[in-house]
Amino acid sequence: MTWDNQQSIYSQPQPPEILVADGDPRLLNFLASLLRQHGYRVAEALGGHAACDALRARPFKLALLDLRMPDINGLDVMAYAATAQPDCGIIAVSGEKGFTSVSRALRRGALDYIKKPFDPEELLETVRGVLGQQSLLQNHADMQSRLEKSEALHRYIVNSSPDIVFMLDQSGRICFINNKVQSLLGYAPHQLIGARFSALLDEQDAARGSHAILDTSVSSDNPRTLEVRMKSRGSRKANRHFEITAFPIDPNTWPHPSGARDQLASQRARFYGTARDVTERKEAEAFINFQAYHDLLTRLPNRALFKDRLNLAITQARRNGQKLAVMFLDLDRFKVINDSLGHAMGDRLLQAVTRRLKSCLRKGDTLSRFGGDEFTLLLPAIHGEEDAKQIALKLIDTLSAPFRLGGHEVFVGVSIGIAVFPNAGESLDQLIQNADIAMYHVKGRGKGDYCFFSEAMSTDTANRLSMERDLRLALERDELRVFYQPQVCAKTDRVLGLEALVRWLHPERGLLYPGEFLPLAEETRLIGAVSERVLAMACQQVGQWIDNGHETLKLAVNLSPIQVEQPGFVDNLMQQLTRHRFPTRNLEIEITENVIMSDLEQISHKLRELAEAGVRIAIDDFGTGYSSLNYIHRLPIHTLKVDQSFVQDIRNSDDGACIVNAIIAMAHGLKLEIVAEGVETNAQLDYLRQLGCHQVQGFFYGQPQPAEHIARLLGELARPTILA
């Protein structure tokens, strides 16, 4: 026999096992043989005791019981079988002429009977009929059990759903709703049966929600989805937001469950729907929207919202021939208080100032926090400058009283610049800028006052003040960018290092170069913040390239005199490197000779600390400063950078290159690295190679480029293509 044949045999269902019990051994053997000949599995029991033992030992599909057995009669065996095997079918076998015993057997649960003497075909037909009847009963019981389990599972799934599940009748009344309504809204499901669904909706959404659900144009293929607010039970609970999806039910195809209550609800149901709680999402959206248009510290409108309202006010003023005023407010002495008492106290002061300023406003005025300690105020629909003047005086007066901050009594004033539409500007930007210019004029003449913008105010001064303000905001708005210029090995054309150079992506003037804003940054003492920002961005970017396989790549950064002269310069620099996990051996700081000679002793001490930590020191623009070279022996100098003005004098064998010759020769003698800046031509590069210059940088290898261009260049690690 093959394995396939064995599988087919094993997979066939076993024939039912039948118990035959009789007190006559001859008749018992005959019955058993007859049934076996027709494929049944048969167990024989001689007498009632043996029948009970067999029923106790294993299950049977059917039992043929002689009603008159000598030890225990068939009726008693039937009683035992009803307890031991209630699913076993019984056929009563009787040799009596009357039907009394058979009738009793049928009343006690026998499915059929056979009279002795019996016809074999009649017996087999009876057995087949009873087995078929049992199979039908079993199938019905199994189906009923599966149906009950399915309904129980469906009920469990519906009641365990994270959404409210409901059914409505033709008039919009609730005929079913799951248990989720209790945990979300506080209503017990039975309390809502028969109530209109609209009673659950917020008054403002009731009509819209009911009409949308009962709309005849909605179908199961195109359900209606809408967002509504639903009432919570109890006045203390806020209404919640739900996303409802509903569609009509076809009563001809809708299944009807077996439970009476569920069946009634299913018969009445004409609409089915779910309600998903989206309260958290709506609150998050509202918070995000608030964040987008408000300052979180003061809860005031921010710059974006202020500009939107100002733009609308300008349109209305132009249409109605009215005037409006824009005020630019800057707090006096705020920086002193913030630095003295700390940022937490500074934040509390800004909140207190906001409360006082708001108390002076009219309905319809817009006060916004523009940034830092600067505020802007929109006064729509004024009659003239006198109205704005009165508001300004009121603002100045309200801030003149002292503030109590954590046991401290502090004073803070305000300087106010005012621009009136249309005389001081007809556009949004003009009004804000001119109010800002007027405010700086107040600052220049003593603070604590107000001033209207006029054309007589210096345009140059205004531009400078505007640039200073923009630079402060640039640090807050992350407008500074870092470009990199490769430092290339003169022999192999391999990129050895990158000099980080700052650029300012001004929102209105485009990309600004260092010469256009660094002098102002030095003058306003913003250079430290600018340098720290550049170093942070460069460490992060170059650090990634170092981690990606360019272990020896050097980062060169320029440091301003103000930054180097700070007492905590070394600690701040090392903390930044630690914060960004940048290896000190890959950093080279560039300082000028003038910085060194301004305080040689102090600078020497700081540079030695950095050199001991592994940081390399380079002298930038070498040869353009002090002529004394004594400091080179006293300082841990690693690199000299030849100024580009000397490199530009190289003209093949022109004598103008003598300074370059001398600097390179001196660097070789002192065993220092030499970097030539401003290399633009192949002739300059060949000349520097002949002199033994170690590294070069300049437009010959490309202008300073953003990180994405440098990433492609580093991927080649060969002589790069000249960048545009």
pLDDT at 389 over 70: yes
Residue 123, token pair as written in the block: 């017996």
**Mean model confidence pLDDT for the chain:** 82
What pLDDT is stored for residue 1 in this prediction?
46
What pLDDT is stored for residue 217 in this prediction?
67
What pLDDT is stored for residue 656 in this prediction?
52
Give dist(CA 223, CA 248) in Å, integer. Answer: 8
* Mean pLDDT of all residues in 409-420: 89
Using a pLDDT cut of 70, give the percent of the chain over it. 85
Give dist(CA 170, CA 158) in Å, integer. Answer: 22
Domain that holds residue 32: 11-139
Q: What is the 3-state secondary structure (H, E, C) of 305-366?
A: HHHHHHHHHHHHHHHHCCEEEEEEEEEECHHHHHHHHCHHHHHHHHHHHHHHHHCCCCCCCE
What pLDDT is stored for residue 721 in this prediction?
38
**For 53-62, how does the pLDDT look when each residue is reduced to its tens digit (9 = 90+)?**
999 999 998 9
Domain limit, last residue, from 255, 283, 311: 283
Q: Are residues 323 and 241 in the same domain?
A: no
* pLDDT band, residue 263 (cuts 50/70/90): low
Give dist(CA 443, CA 328) in Å, integer. Answer: 12
- Inside any domain, residue 700: yes
- Inside any domain, residue 3: no
Q: Are residues 615 and 697 in the same domain?
A: yes
pLDDT at 194 over 60: yes
Would the CA dihedral through 686, 692, 694, 697 be positive or negative? negative
The count of domains in the chain is 4
Domain harbouring 408, CATH code: 3.30.70.270
Give dist(CA 1, CA 8) in Å, integer. Answer: 11
Domain harbouring 77, CATH code: 3.40.50.2300
Cross-strand pairs, 176: 167
pLDDT at 575 over 80: yes
* Mean pLDDT of all residues in 142-153: 64
pLDDT at 391 over 90: yes
Q: Are residues 547 and 426 in the same domain?
A: no
Give dist(CA 535, CA 502) in Å, integer. Answer: 10
* pLDDT band, residue 202 (cuts 50/70/90): confident
Cross-strand pairs, 112: 91
Give dist(CA 75, CA 66) in Å, integer. Answer: 9
What pLDDT is stored for residue 239 in this prediction?
81
Q: What is the 3-state secondary structure (H, E, C) of 392-431?
A: HHHHHHHCCCCEEECCEEECCEEEEEEEEECCCCCCHHHH
- Inside any domain, residue 296: no
**For 635-645, how does the pLDDT look when each residue is reduced to its tens digit (9 = 90+)?**
888 888 888 88
Cβ pair 239, 208 in contact under 8 A: no
Q: Are residues 488 and 590 in the same domain?
A: yes
Domain harbouring 181, CATH code: 3.30.450.20
Residue 102's nearest CA partner among 129, 136, 68, 72 is 68
- Inside any domain, residue 483: yes
C-alpha dihedral (598, 599, 603, 605), degrees to nearest 10: 170
Any idea what DSSP says for residue 384?
S
The highest-confidence range among 363-367, 404-408, 598-602, 666-670, by mean pLDDT, is: 363-367
Query: Measured between alpha carbons, how far is residue 232 from residues 199, 236, 478, 578 in Å?
Result: 11, 9, 45, 54
Whether residue 223 has a cis bond before it, omega within 30° of 0:
no
Q: Are residues 453 and 487 in the same domain?
A: no
Chain centroid to CA 17: how far?
A: 66
Residue 493, token pair as written in the block: 């054309």
Give dist(CA 217, CA 402) in Å, integer. Answer: 67
Cβ pair 221, 249 in contact under 8 A: no
Q: Are residues 316 and 178 in the same domain?
A: no
What pLDDT is stored for residue 485 in this prediction?
92
pLDDT at 266 over 60: no
Phi-psi region at 695: left, alpha or beta (left = phi > 0; alpha = psi -120 to 50): beta
- Inside any domain, residue 145: no
DSSP, collapsed to helix, strand or coil, labels residue 65 as strand
* pLDDT band, residue 724 (cuts 50/70/90): very low
**For 346-375, how does the pLDDT look when each residue is reduced to its tens digit (9 = 90+)?**
899 999 999 999 999 888 899 999 888 999
pLDDT at 723 over 50: no
Domain limit, last residue, from 424, 457, 490: 457
* Mean pLDDT of all residues in 95-103: 78
Domain harbouring 699, CATH code: 3.20.20.450
Q: What angle do CA 168, 173, 177 make, to 5 degrees?
A: 55
Give dist(CA 281, CA 421) in Å, integer. Answer: 41
DSSP, collapsed to helix, strand or coil, labels residue 606 as helix
What pLDDT is stored for residue 386 in this prediction?
92
Strands 17-22 and 41-46: parallel
What pLDDT is stored for residue 54 in this prediction?
92
Q: Are residues 392 and 523 in the same domain?
A: no
DSSP, collapsed to helix, strand or coil, labels residue 382 as strand
- Inside any domain, residue 229: yes
Q: Are residues 68 and 175 in the same domain?
A: no
Residue 264, token pair as written in the block: 């009634």
Using a pLDDT cut of 90, give the percent of the chain over it. 26
pLDDT at 288 over 70: yes
- Inside any domain, residue 435: yes
SS3 content of the chain, % helix, strand, coil (to 5): 50, 20, 30
Query: Measured between alpha carbons, how far is residue 480 from residues 47, 99, 206, 442, 453 in Å?
Result: 105, 110, 53, 29, 30
Q: Which of 163-172, 297-306, 617-626 has the lowest mean pLDDT?
A: 617-626
What pLDDT is stored for residue 415 in this prediction?
92
Residue 562, token pair as written in the block: 């103000």
pLDDT at 450 over 70: yes
Q: Are residues 238 and 319 in the same domain?
A: no
What pLDDT is stored for residue 267 in this prediction?
60
- Inside any domain, residue 244: yes
Cβ pair 434, 425 in contact under 8 A: yes
Radius of gyration from C-alpha coordinates of the chain: 48
Q: Are residues 594 and 676 in the same domain?
A: yes
* Pairwise pLDDT comparison (77 vs 446), residue with the higher score: 77
Phi-psi region at 448: left, alpha or beta (left = phi > 0; alpha = psi -120 to 50): left
* Mean pLDDT of all residues in 703-722: 72
DSSP, collapsed to helix, strand or coil, labels residue 446 as coil
Residue 492, token pair as written in the block: 């192999």
Q: Are residues 538 and 452 in the same domain?
A: no
φ, ψ for residue 631, nearest 5 deg: -65, -25
* Pairwise pLDDT comparison (581 vs 333), residue with the higher score: 581
* Pairwise pLDDT comparison (715 vs 372), residue with the higher score: 372
Q: Which of 132-136, 188-192, 413-417 has the lowest mean pLDDT?
A: 132-136
Q: Are residues 129 and 32 in the same domain?
A: yes
Chain centroid to CA 465: how far?
A: 39
Beta strands in 143-249 (DSSP E): 164-168, 174-177, 224-230, 240-248
Would the CA dihedral through 196, 199, 203, 205 be positive or negative? negative
Residue 109, token pair as written in the block: 């649960």
* Mean pLDDT of all residues in 663-680: 87
φ, ψ for residue 73, nearest 5 deg: -75, 170
**For 308-332, how does the pLDDT look when each residue is reduced to its tens digit (9 = 90+)?**
999 999 999 999 989 999 999 999 8
CB under 8 A, 24+ apart: contacts of 513-516: none
